[in-house]
């Protein structure tokens, strides 16, 4: 059985009104997505679907953690995820994204696969630069052995003697 099938919500037989779903996202979710940049996580998703005559309004509450690689030392970091999102699906002729929140779906559709949307929402909550936080004294909590191997300089400045020669020419 395809693991991601549990994230498909059939709506064609639902009566108008509010419907609730509780879903769990775990490591297998991320492994099932070919495009996932992270492979581990433990999250819960509360889905509230307000089924209306000409549209579907989904409200999502996503809570938990995901493991990502530190951009500095490559060790894994657990990042908290806490986000609330809304998606509105309106019926029309073809699939079309109107805004970040509004999507047109064909009238012939009878179900919606939410797995891609969940992955996007989780990804958007993570910072662009993912590094271990500093400790109370302001020191990096990254893997020190890896930083030494990489030649990491906390000041961010790497002295290169070739630049010194160019600076002398510029100052003349």
Alpha-carbon gap, residue 37 to 163, rounded angstroms: 36
Number of domains in the chain: 1
Residue ranges of the chain with per-residue pLDDT less than 70: 1, 152-159, 172
Q: Which helix (H) or strand (E) holds 42?
A: strand 40-51
Number of Cβ atoms within 10 Å of the Cβ of 58: 23
Give the model confidence (pLDDT) of 83-130 as tens digits.
Answer: 999 999 999 999 988 888 999 999 999 999 999 999 999 999 998 888
Q: Which helix (H) or strand (E) holds 80?
A: strand 76-92
Which pTM does this prediction carry? 0.78
Structural domain span for residue 155? 3-170
């Amino acid at each position: 059985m395809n693991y991601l099938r549990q994230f498909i919500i059939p709506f064609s037989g639902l009566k108008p009104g509010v419907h609730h779903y509780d879903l769990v996202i775990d490591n297998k979710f991320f492994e099932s997505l070919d495009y996932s940049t992270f492979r581990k996580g433990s999250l819960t998703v509360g889905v509230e679907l307000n089924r209306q005559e000409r549209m579907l309004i989904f409200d999502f509450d996503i809570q938990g953690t995901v493991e990502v690689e530190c951009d500095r030392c490559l060790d894994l970091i657990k990042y908290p995820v806490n986000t609330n999102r809304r998606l509105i699906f309106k019926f029309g002729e073809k699939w079309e994204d109107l805004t970040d929140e509004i999507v047109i779906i064909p009238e012939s559709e009878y179900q919606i696969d939410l797995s891609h949307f969940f992955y996007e929402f989780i990804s958007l909550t993570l910072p662009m630069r993912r590094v271990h936080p500093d400790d109370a004294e302001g020191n990096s909590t990254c893997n020190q052995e890896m930083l030494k191997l990489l030649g990491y300089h906390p000041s961010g400045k790497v002295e290169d003697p070739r630049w010194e020669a160019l600076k002398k020419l510029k100052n003349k």
